[in-house]
Structure 1
Amino acid sequence: MAGSPADELAFALSLADEADAFTLPRFERADFTLGWKDDRSEVTEADRGAESLLASRVLAERPTHGFLGEEHGVQGDIESPWRWIVDPIDGTSGFVRGIPVWATLIALTHADDGLVTAVVSAPAMRRRWWAGRDLGAFADGTPCRVSDVSELVNAQVSVTFSRGWDELGLTDELVAISREARRGRGFGDFWQHCLVAEGALDLAIDAVGVAPYDLAAVRLIVEEAGGTFTDREGNPTHEEPSAISSNGALHAQVISRLGR
């Protein structure tokens, strides 16, 4: 069983507090050892330790729930309709280089009802975003809402180039979208989607190769802020290896160019 979205959001916020207390001192002191995964992406014991900390707390206080983390996979009740999806440090490549753009991503999903609660906590930036189903989205406690920009020529966009886009033959299209926009940037990772939710960006195109733990939390925040979050083919999901968020007004025209 689980509580209401508001109750589960309060629990998720407390989990984020615990994660911040573990990760931020290690970032500030560069107190970690760097390792490499099979895909050559960075990992530290701070990633693994933060995930273990959160998994232990979730499984102790929500024993009938499942837990999916980037570092240790699925734990808990694998048959449960309730599942926590966690990325302990989204942006590890920045974390290890002293760049403060990294965050702990926490989401609760239900097999039938979808996303229930989400928190994105970026302690080195002193920023936090959260949302609950039908409760709205918030940035540092202030309700946030997507923009109303309807033309790409007037839009601020963030594009994350990756080898996956090269393999799809769509990198030139990404460049064209950036050039047609009023301003193109590459904020990357969680931040670009949170900026869409805040209305600071109008469109964010993520790397190809993302995973549910990269996307679940930011998806709910964007949607509760009134935005649209899909894969590159326009399917509303956090379970495919591509992700595009927007204010909604720009979405169809971008999908038509990247969904082929």
Structure 2
Amino acid sequence: MDPMLNIATRAARAAGDYIVRQLDRVDTLKITPKGRNDFVSEVDRKAEDEIVNILRKAYPTHGFLGEEGGRHGGPRAEYTWVIDPLDGTTNFLHGFPQFAVSIALLFKGKLECGVIYDPVRQELFTAKRGGGAALNSRRLRVTRQNGFKGALLGTGFPFKDQRHNDAYFAMFRELMKDTAGIRRAGSAALDLAWVACGRLDGFWEIGLMPWDLAAGVLLIQEAGGIVTDFENGDKFLETGNVLTANPRLHALMEEAIRPHVTDALRYTPPVSENPV
């Protein structure tokens, strides 16, 4: 395994093992609201500390962008680790077993490697740019689903920022008409990993953050899928809007949602606002 991917795997497993050990004491955890329907627990913070300590020991000159710790280690660093220590915090706090650790590495702004670890199922998703994607060392490919009939899609509701509800539910109505179903499980990182491994045929969501997306995006790309923003471009890390599937299904999904993409959803933040 690539040395950087190996270190990321070690960090993800360490954080995941810590998270699972805390499941029996959820009712005693200190929980702090971060915003509307958005919470952080002491488990999130300690899991991120565990990850950063392992990565920093191996790569002291690298930068870090974490959901809880923000950016540190130098914004001009060629290498930046993008970390979500517990994607699916609300699920975790309710004992709903759908959450994961997500770690990705950017080199000069390009995704270099990614790890998503589901500590409940002990499933390790890994990807290396140009080296493919794997689940517990088994090579991954996205599905060959070529139409909506029989397709199973994933999504995430824009519950933190509800300004785009009308646009989102218009997309939802359009996509649900002919599919086998739409699932909303509450962890974008795992949703993306499940597209990469074929459990979901496609996925879309509004307003994600880079740490939600980075590792999963690389997994899908290395598994043969297409990942774009809502304008069929590559600004998903900046806009937080993501649409992904195999090439044929992606084209159909993009065509279906296109009439419902508002000017607000086309907005790309200026550089000073972009987190990566």
Q: Does the pair score TM above 0.5?
A: yes
Partner AA of 1:78 in structure 2: P
Percent identity of equivalent pairs: 29
CA deviation string 1:62-117 (max 9, x = no partner): 111100000110111221111000001000000000011011100001115x1111
> Is the CA contact (8 Å cut-off) linking 1:69 and 1:213 kept in structure 2?
yes
Displacement of 1:60 in angstroms is 2.6
Taking a change above 3 Å as real, the CA distance of residues 126 and 28 of structure 1, as seen in their structure-2 partners, is: farther
Partner AA of 2:79 in structure 1: W
Distance 1:184 1:171 in 2: 12
CA deviation string 1:1-34 (max 9, x = no partner): xxxx811111111111211222110124325222
Unaligned runs of 5+ in 1: none
Q: 1:61 aligns with which of 32, 47, 58?
A: 58
Provide the secondary structure at the position in 1 that maps to 2:65. strand
Partner of 1:12: 8
Provide the secondary structure at the position in 1 that maps to 2:233. coil
Q: 2:175 aligns with which of 171, 174, 177?
A: 177
Partner AA of 1:83 in structure 2: T
Q: 1:152 aligns with which of 131, 143, 148?
A: 148
Displacement of 1:247 in angstroms is 1.6
Provide the secondary structure at the position in 1 that maps to 2:177. helix
> Is the CA contact (8 Å cut-off) linking 2:11 and 2:50 kept in structure 1?
no
> Is the CA contact (8 Å cut-off) linking 1:233 and 1:258 kept in structure 2?
no
Partner AA of 2:221 in structure 1: E
> Is the CA contact (8 Å cut-off) linking 1:16 and 1:121 kept in structure 2?
yes
Provide the secondary structure at the position in 2 that maps to 1:153. coil
> Is the CA contact (8 Å cut-off) linking 1:212 and 1:240 kept in structure 2?
no
Taking a change above 3 Å as real, the CA distance of residues 69 and 41 of structure 1, as seen in their structure-2 partners, is: same
Q: 1:42 aligns with which of 39, 43, 57?
A: 39
Distance 2:108 2:164 in 1: 33
Taking a change above 3 Å as real, the CA distance of residues 165 and 177 of structure 1, as seen in their structure-2 partners, is: farther
Provide the secondary structure at the position in 1 that maps to 2:157. coil
Distance 2:168 2:7 in 1: 41
Displacement of 1:185 in angstroms is 2.1
Unaligned runs of 5+ in 2: 262-276
Taking a change above 3 Å as real, the CA distance of residues 136 and 167 of structure 1, as seen in their structure-2 partners, is: same
Partner of 2:243: 244
Q: 1:76 aligns with which of 69, 73, 77?
A: 73
Alignment size in residue pairs: 254
Partner of 2:117: 121
Partner AA of 2:91 in structure 1: G
Distance 1:159 1:74 in 2: 28
Using the size of structure 1 for normalisation, the TM-score is 0.91
Taking a change above 3 Å as real, the CA distance of residues 180 and 111 of structure 1, as seen in their structure-2 partners, is: same
Provide the secondary structure at the position in 1 that maps to 2:106. strand
Using the size of structure 2 for normalisation, the TM-score is 0.86
Distance 2:257 2:174 in 1: 11
Bigger Cα displacement from structure 2, 170-179 vs 157-166: 157-166
